[in-house]
Amino acid sequence: MTFVVIRPEHTSVTFKLNASGTEAAQTIIAEGSPHIINVDATPRFGGKDAYPSPLSYVLSSLLSCSQVTAQLVANDLGITLHSFEFNLKANLDTAVLFEGAAEGNPNFQNISIKARIETDTSDDLFEKLQRETERRCPVYQLFSRSGVNIRSQWIRQAS
């Protein structure tokens, strides 16, 4: 028996961003959206710390994309999720970034995530929720496929 995967003709979404700035500060506007993203760097990275850094944004994106994806997966599994709490710790070797080291990896080395999610689902479905969220989350996969060692611990809290 052969199975055919049926997908909508267009499953791709395009994002368009426009940015301008001076020194380490930048303003980014997403086309078609009223939202403006202001970015800066800490003084150690050459900025004035007026806004969150690009590194803070990318790590925040990992957490928020995980939550959005978890909600999508929960809907598919028929699970109700009530609340989320995430804690993240990331290690970045700055030898390439700051010193221009010829060897090394300017990417994050390790990311540790602890997620507490309030839900009344079973342990089995909760484990499936975590696996599917990590598999389907674009930002999680971006980190994972770039070689970052991600350790995540999900804790189910009954509501």
Cβ–Cβ under 8 Å, residues 69 and 115: no
Order of strands across the sheet that contains 149-157: 81-92, 108-119, 149-157
Q: What is the CATH number of the domain that holds 94?
A: 3.30.300.20
**Gap between the Cα atoms of 135 and 150, Å rounded:** 13
Q: Are residues 68 and 35 in the same domain?
A: no
The answer as to whether 4 is a domain residue is: no
Q: Are residues 148 and 107 in the same domain?
A: yes
Q: Is 12 exposed, middle or buried (0-12, 13-18, 19+ CB in 10 A)?
A: exposed
What local confidence, expressed as pLDDT, does residue 4 receive?
Answer: 58
Q: Are residues 27 and 104 in the same domain?
A: no
What local confidence, expressed as pLDDT, does residue 3 receive?
Answer: 59
Q: Are residues 79 and 121 in the same domain?
A: yes
The answer as to whether 3 is a domain residue is: no
Name the one residue in this structure whose structure tokens are 């770039």.
146
Containing structural domain, residue 136: 53-157
Q: Are residues 47 and 112 in the same domain?
A: no
pLDDT averages per 10-residue partition of the chain, 159 residues: 61 91 96 96 94 97 98 97 98 90 92 98 97 98 96 95
What local confidence, expressed as pLDDT, does residue 104 receive?
Answer: 86
What local confidence, expressed as pLDDT, does residue 109 receive?
Answer: 95
Q: Are residues 79 and 150 in the same domain?
A: yes
Cβ–Cβ under 8 Å, residues 89 and 115: no
What local confidence, expressed as pLDDT, does residue 36 receive?
Answer: 96
What local confidence, expressed as pLDDT, does residue 12 receive?
Answer: 84
Q: Are residues 69 and 31 in the same domain?
A: no
Name the one residue in this structure whose structure tokens are 């611990």.
153
Q: State the total domains in the chain.
A: 2
Amino acid code (one letter) for 18: N
